[in-house]
Amino acid sequence: MNASVSLLGRVLPAIVHLEARIPSEHPSVRLLGVDRMGSGTVIDPSGLILTVNYVVIGAQEVTVTMLDRRQLTAEVVRHDFQSGLALLRVPERGLPTLPLAPSTEIALGDDVFIVASVGDHEARVANGNVTYLGKFDANWEYMLDRCIMTTAMNPGLGGGPLVDRSGRAVGVVSLNMNEIGRFSMAVPSEYFLEARDAFLAAGPRGMGGHAWLGVFCYAIEDSVVIAGVMPGAPGERAGLRPGDVVTAIDGEPVADRAGLYRAVSRRTPGAAVALTVTRGERQVVVEVSSGDVVEFFA
């Protein structure tokens, strides 16, 4: 039997389709909508499923469809706002699983492939190579010390595994980057492996709380520009506006987007943050009482 066919035969049964319906009043609905679909991976025979947070944030329950068309109802065990991962559990034991491995066990140029759901009982596969292992920041307040980028194009819905040649999930596919040589971004599996106890601990579903402004930013040359503000978030309440150019935080110059995010996240939620912004031809200081991202999306 062809080795790649044999490998897929082991991987595919662990891939699931996710459907979540979010209450219309949840703050994430304005950005992500009420009805969401995604991919997930069964990672433990006790019924644990790993996916990305944006698919299930705000959901009380999630419908899980296996490739054999069985449907199960999953509870959300944990949202992690720092890594962008989420953990679900279905009341079914002995399901096929996919082992996890840290991204430190892959290298630039390695062959990888993405498996993603495209519907209730269908999945597609795309292969490529690892092209980047390093820091990442996005246009919302999100950054990783390490991410994986690959030439493999995500063939379906986000949240599926990035799989190495040994059939291990080294990451969870999160974003379609559509950049030359960097078509897809995955969150490395170690973000779950190293925090497994926290993901499974009793308590509120949210974890990874940190000071947060609720802004969307893009970088132009050496400037950080606010592209938008989350309705009801601390930034909007304080009066930050799209088009504001952030030049300093608490008097310290802001060099780039990641630097802004890092400076804010070091604060205690609720701490006052003074942002110096250029607004038109004026320079103003906007005092923001930071919030907690976990509480906001609880």
Q: Are 153 and 128 in contact (CB under 8 A)?
A: yes
Q: Is 103-193's fold the same as 211-296's?
A: no
Class of domain 3-96+196-207: mainly beta
For tokens 């519907």, name the residue: 119
Q: Does domain 211-296 have CATH number 3.40.50.10310?
A: no
Selection from 228, 222, 232 nearest residue 257 by Cα:
222
**CATH top-level class of 103-193:** mainly beta
Structure token pair of residue 101: 């491995």
Q: Are the CB atoms for 113 and 126 separated by under 8 Å?
A: yes
CA distance 184 to 150: 6
Return the SS3 of 85.
strand
Residue 3: the pLDDT is 47
Q: Tell me the helix, strand and coil percentages in the chain, rounded to 5.
A: 15, 45, 35
Specify the residue for token string 């997930």. Answer: 40
Mean pLDDT, 10 residues at a time, over the chain (298 residues)?
A: 67 96 93 95 97 95 93 95 96 95 97 92 93 95 96 96 96 93 96 96 85 92 90 95 94 91 91 94 94 91
Q: What are the structure tokens assigned to 180, written together?
A: 């030359």
Report strand pairing: 223-229 vs 211-212: unpaired
- Tell me what pLDDT residue 73 has: 96
Backbone angles phi, psi at 191, to 5 degrees: -65, -30
Residues 249 and 270: beta-carbon distance below 8 Å: no
Query: How many Cβ atoms are within 10 Å of 291's Cβ, its own excluded?
Result: 22
Fill in the amino acid letter for 149: M
3-state secondary structure of 97: coil
Structure tokens at 6: 């044999």
H-type helices in the chain, by residue range?
A: 3-11, 29-32, 53-56, 190-193, 196-200, 234-238, 257-265, 293-296
* Integer Cα distance of 270 and 159 in angstroms: 31
Write down the domain spans for the chain.
Answer: 3-96+196-207, 103-193, 211-296
Backbone angles phi, psi at 68, to 5 degrees: -90, 10
- Predicted pLDDT at 1: 35
pLDDT at 2: 44
AA identity, residue 291? G
